[in-house]
Amino acid sequence: MTNENLVSRREFTVETALAMLAGVTITITGCGGGSSNSGTGPSPQPGGKAGTVSSSAGHTHSAEITAAQLTAGNAISVTLTGGTHTHTVALSQSELTQINAGTRVQKDSSNDQAHTHLVTFN
């Protein structure tokens, strides 16, 4: 092997790091801080349903059920996102059928950091 084909340790490290990061997506989100929030989340993906999350402990979260989750026929756990912590809401297959049909379903989230949120799907 000639010296022309050799790579320096630095070049190897940089190329390796770039190769590892090539398929990485980084998402940064933040909590609404101490301000009061209306409790509405982002628009759901086509066919999905966004939930309205009540304000509690001075903040709110976002909740979304994807179209695939609505039609899969299985009970699911939805993670409420946004902020420095998360909550979950368990939904049965029957509740998903009701939500998919446009019927209102309200559930309390899990208790995290000494509070819960009421989540409404319809």
pLDDT tens-digit map of 72-91: 888 999 999 888 899 999 99
Residues 89-103 have pLDDT tens digits of 999 999 999 998 999
**pTM to 2 decimals?**
0.61
**pLDDT, greater one: 5 or 51:** 51
Domain ranges of the chain: 49-121
Strand 63-65 to strand 76-80: parallel, antiparallel, or no bridges (unpaired)?
unpaired
Sheet holding 118-121, edge to edge: 63-65, 49-53, 118-121, 105-108
Checking if the pLDDT of 121 tops 80, the result is: yes
Task: Please report the pLDDT score of residue 7 as a whole number.
Answer: 73
Q: What is the DSSP letter of 59?
A: B
Q: How far apart are CA 67 and CA 74, in angstroms?
A: 13
